[in-house]
Structure formats: structure tokens, C-alpha cells
Structure 1
Amino acid sequence: MSSATYSPWMRRLHWIIALCVGIALLLIELKGWFPRGSATRRAVQWGHIQFGIAVLVLMAPRVLVRLRAATPPITPPSPPWQMVLSKLVHAALLLLTVGIPVLGVSMMFVSGKPWNLLGLALPTMTTPDSTLAHQLKEVHETCGNVLMWLAIAHVAAALYHHFVQRDDTLLRMAPGLRNRSR
């Protein structure tokens, strides 16, 4: 197997973003367990927003790091159809991890409801548009569900590569490994 891995920054950002996405998804699922208007429900919603904004903020350096560094080769190489599918899934994950938080921020902005980032008040439209906010919410939720299933497929594919195909796909992004390609 190859000893090439992604850069340490790429691996760190990958796993931090994966953790933030996972927590945001978990929080929004937990929100439904609490009564409307309750302090707990509002706190869970607040946490979802905080982790969603964190994903958006972290995606900027992740994209920059990704553009600067080449993708390490998979050893042994995967069949061409798997490489094409991998590129499509990664592109979709990238679009969703940027697009979903943008939709959420847009929804909060047009809703006119007060919201904040770690206590710092964020702007809202002076004339709220509840119809547009609802439409953005629907798209945000649908895309969130797509992201959840794509992330599950992404994890399943990594495990398939590791345990069935026995290549180094998973090891290239594994945390804690030194970049031995240098």
C-alpha cells in the first residue's frame, strides 16, 4: 500500500467538519423531542445554528487547502467507475456542506426572528418574508436529509474500501497519521 496521506490540515478540517455536521444533524433531530416554545427546544435549535455556521466557516479553509494539495493516490487503484462515483459524491458533499448552511443563514435572515452567533446578534430583514423563509426551510431540511444519507454512504464506502477491497482509501484520511509522503 501507498504511504501517501492527505495533508495534516486537510485531515483535521475533514474530521472537524464531519463532527460539526454530525452534531448539527443530531441536534436538529433532537429538537423534535421537546415541546414547542420550551427553553430546551430553543437551546437545541441554537446549538444547531452554531454548528451549522461553524461548518460554513470551516469550509472556506477546507476548500482552499483542497485546491492547493493534490489528492493522494489510492493503492491499489480503484476501478474507473468507482473513481467517477467518488468524485460525484465528493462534489455533492462539498456543495451540500456549503449550501445547507447558506440556506439556513438565508432562512434566518429573511424570517425576521432574532438569532445570534455565540451571543453576537446577527442581522435580519427589516421586512420579514415568512413565505420565503418557509420555502428556504423546506429546501434546507430536504438538503439536510440528502447530506445525512450521502454521509452515511460515504462512511460505508470508506469501510468497504478498507475491509473488502483492502486499499488505503480510509488510511489516507485517518487522523493521527503523519504525512509519510514527504
Structure 2
Amino acid sequence: MGNKYSGLQIGIHWLVFLLVIGAYCAMELRGFAPRSYRPWFNMVHVSCGISILVLMVTRLLVRLKYPAPPIVPKPKPMMTGFAHLGHLVIYLLFIVLPVIGLLMIYNRGNPWMAFGIVMPHAAEANFDLADALKSWHVTLANLGYFVIALHAAAALMHHYFWKDNTLLRMMPRKRS
């Protein structure tokens, strides 16, 4: 086993990173654009969310097949436990968040778009369910800011404070 994640794992990690930025930006910045652009921002948000869901499930399956490369020097067991807990939270968040979002827009009963394609919707709207799902979606999305910040801070702490190879394991390979 090498000292880095596989190219596939590294690629998925950084692609998900970019898609998460896209999803969050689409929602945060839509208020600055004319109202007529809102469907476009919503489509970008939903398309990023679906892509994140597919990539996170793929990443989880790949992660089950290929174990993580060792951290050198080896951290204390408590640190390893926190790392596993943090990664579990990230996997759950970025799988559950898009699922809840998809269920929410499906149950609104209105046409919606992803990747420029009109998607199926419930024949009859269930606004109570859609509102409850929206509340969960917004809460988890806001929690996502904290989780992402904690993940990035931990990677930087590993690199600059504990001086191990945690961050380097996920960095893209240099071309020769």
C-alpha cells in the first residue's frame, strides 16, 4: 500500500469539494440575481446535489474496497477515533442531505429540473412533508458549514501542528 489515497479517491474528494462549493454558492448567491434567474440557480443547486450524492456513494464503496493509507507518524488512538467519527459525519451528511432535498422537491408536486432535464414530481403535492423536509435540509446544510470548517481545520492541524502526512495523502499527485 502506498502513502496516498488512490487517484480515484483523490479525484472524487476534490470533485465533491468543488460541487459542494457550487451547491452552497447557488443558494447563497441567488438573492443577488434577478428573480427570473432563480430557476437556473435552483437547477445548479439540485444538479450539484445529485452529483454529490452519486459521488459520495461511489466514494464510500471505493473506500470500503481500498483502505486508507497509514498516517505517519501514527496518531494516538483517540485522534484516530475522532477522525473516523468526523468522516462518518461527512459521509452521512453528504448522502442524507441530497436525499432529503430530492424528496422535498419531488413532494412539492411541481416540475423541477436537474442537468437541464425536467424531472418527475409527485402527482399530488404534500406540502406538509415538503415543508418538514425543507426544514431538515436547511438545518443540515447549515450544519455542513461547521462540518466542512472542522474538516479543513483538522487537515491543517495535522499538517502544520502535528506534522504528519494526513493532508498529503489526499493531495493530487505531481506530474513528472
TM-score (norm 2): 0.93
Residue aligning to 1:21: 20
* Kept after mapping to 1: 8 A contact 2:27/2:41: yes
Task: Name the residue aligned to 2:120.
Answer: 123
**Equivalent in the alignment of 1:143:** 140
> What count of residue pairs does the alignment treat as equivalent?
175
Shift of 1:177: 4.7
Is the partner of 1:32 in helix, strand or coil? helix
| Distance in 1 of aligned mates of 2:78 and 2:132 | 36
Counterparts of 2:68 and 2:95, CA distance in 1: 20
Q: Is the partner of 1:165 in helix, strand or coil?
A: coil
Choose which of 44, 55, 62 in structure 1 pairs with 2:59. Answer: 62
Q: Distance in 1 between matches of 2:40 and 2:114?
A: 13
1: distance between equivalents of 2:123 and 2:152? 42
Percentage of pairs with the same residue? 37
Q: Which has the higher contact order (CA 8 A, sep 6+)?
A: 1
The code of the aligned residue for 2:3 comes to A
Ranges of 4+ aligned residues in structure 1 off by more than 6 Å: none
Equivalent in the alignment of 1:134: 131
Aligned twin of 1:156: 153
> Structure 2: 5+ residue runs without aligned partners?
none
Picking from 41, 47, 67, the partner of 1:44 is 41
Cα distance in 1, alignment partners of residues 8 and 124 from structure 2: 42
Q: 5+ unaligned residues in a row in structure 1: which ranges?
A: none
Q: Deviations over 1:9-36 (max 9, x none)?
A: 011001101111121112111123346x
The yes-or-no answer on 1:90 pairing with 2:87 is yes
Instruction: State the one-letter code of the partner of 1:45.
Output: N
CA contact (8 A) 1:76 1:167 kept: yes
* Structure 1 length-normalised TM: 0.90
RMSD of Structure 2 on Structure 1 (CA): 1.6
CA contact (8 A) 2:73 2:164 kept: yes
